C-alpha cells in the first residue's frame, strides 16, 4: 500500500505541478495585497479539493452508468497525460491547463480568481481529474488505500497553497528559467507514467 501511495503522490504532484503555478499566480495577483493573495490561494485549493474528492467518490459510478470500462479510461487518460507531458517537456502551453483570450479578459475584470482560473483548470484540471479516476476507480470507498489516496490529494493541494503563498520569494529564487527546468523534468516523469497507464489499460482490455 505504501508503494502505491508513493507512486500516486508522484503522479498527482507532477500532474498538478505546483511549481507551474508560481509565474501564473504572480501575474494574476500582481499589485494585490498579501491578504488578497492568501485568500485567493486558500479558496482555490479548497474548491479544487472539493472538485477532486467529488470526482473520486462519484467518477467511477458515472463511467459505469455510461458503460465505459475503467481500462478504456486508463487508455484515454494515459494518452491525455502523455500529451500534457509533451507540453511540459517542450515548455508549451497545454490546452488542458490554459485559458482562451476571452477567458483571460474575463479574469482581468473579476476580483475573485479562486474558482477560475486557479481551482479550474490550473489545479483541478482535466489531467488531475483523469489521474484521480485512474487511481481510485477500482478502490472501495471505505478502504484504507482510498483514504490514503485522499490524504495524498490533501498533501499536494497543501503544497500548491504554500507555493502560491510564497510565490514572491520563489520567483526571486527560481525565475522563469528555473520554473521551466522543473517543468521539463516533471514532464519526463509524467510521460513515462502515462505510457504505463496505457499499457495497463491495453493489457486489461485484452485480458
Predicted confidence (pLDDT) per residue in 47-87, tens digit = 999 999 998 998 878 877 888 887 887 888 888 878 878 88
pLDDT of amino acid 152: 96
- In tens, the pLDDT along 124-134 reads 987 888 889 88
The whole-number average pLDDT for the span 166-173 is 88
1 in Cβ contact with 145 (< 8 Å): yes
Q: For 135-163, b where at least 16 C-beta lie within 10 A, e where not — what string? A: bbbebeeeeeebebbbebbeebbebbbeb
> In the predicted model, is pLDDT for residue 15 greater than 80?
yes
- Angle between the 144-165 and 167-206 helix axes, to the nearest 10 degrees? 150
pLDDT of amino acid 41: 96
The whole-number average pLDDT for the span 32-38 is 92
CA–CA dist 2, 202 (Å, integer)? 25
**DSSP state at residue 100:** -
pLDDT of amino acid 89: 83
List the one residue out of 88, 89, 73, 186 whose CA is nearest residue 130.
Answer: 73
pLDDT of amino acid 102: 59
Contacts 24+ apart (CB under 8 A), 105-109: 107/28
CA–CA dist 60, 10 (Å, integer)? 22
Q: Grid coordinates in use for 120?
A: 479550474
Q: Which residues contact 19 (CB under 8 A, 6 or more apart)?
A: 163, 174, 179, 182, 183, 186
91 in Cβ contact with 20 (< 8 Å): no
pLDDT of amino acid 74: 80
CA–CA dist 184, 177 (Å, integer)? 11
- Residue 89's Cβ-count burial label (10 Å; 0-12, 13-18, 19+) is middle
Amino acid at each position: 500500500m505504501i508503494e502505491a501511495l508513493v507512486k500516486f503522490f508522484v503522479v498527482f504532484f507532477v500532474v498538478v505541478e505546483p511549481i507551474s503555478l508560481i509565474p501564473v499566480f504572480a501575474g494574476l495577483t500582481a499589485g494585490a495585497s498579501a491578504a488578497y493573495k492568501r485568500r485567493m490561494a486558500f479558496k482555490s485549493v479548497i474548491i479544487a479539493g472539493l472538485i477532486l474528492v467529488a470526482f473520486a467518490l462519484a467518477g467511477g459510478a458515472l463511467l459505469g452508468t455510461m458503460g465505459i470500462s475503467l481500462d478504456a479510461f486508463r487508455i484515454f487518460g494515459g494518452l491525455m497525460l502523455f500529451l500534457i507531458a509533451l507540453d511540459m517537456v517542450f515548455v508549451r502551453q497545454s490546452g488542458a491547463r490554459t485559458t482562451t483570450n476571452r477567458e483571460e479578459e474575463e479574469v482581468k475584470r473579476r476580483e475573485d480568481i479562486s474558482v477560475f482560473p486557479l481551482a479550474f483548470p490550473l489545479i483541478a484540471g482535466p489531467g488531475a481529474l483523469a489521474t484521480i479516476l485512474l487511481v481510485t476507480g477500482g478502490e472501495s470507498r471505505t478502504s484504507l488505500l482510498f483514504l490514503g489516496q485522499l490524504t495524498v490529494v490533501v498533501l499536494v493541494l497543501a503544497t500548491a497553497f504554500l507555493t502560491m503563498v510564497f510565490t514572491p520569494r520563489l520567483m526571486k529564487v527560481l525565475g522563469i528559467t528555473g520554473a521551466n527546468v522543473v517543468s521539463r523534468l516533471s514532464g519526463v516523469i509524467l510521460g513515462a507514467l502515462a505510457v504505463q497507464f496505457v499499457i495497463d489499460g491495453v493489457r486489461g482490455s485484452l485480458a
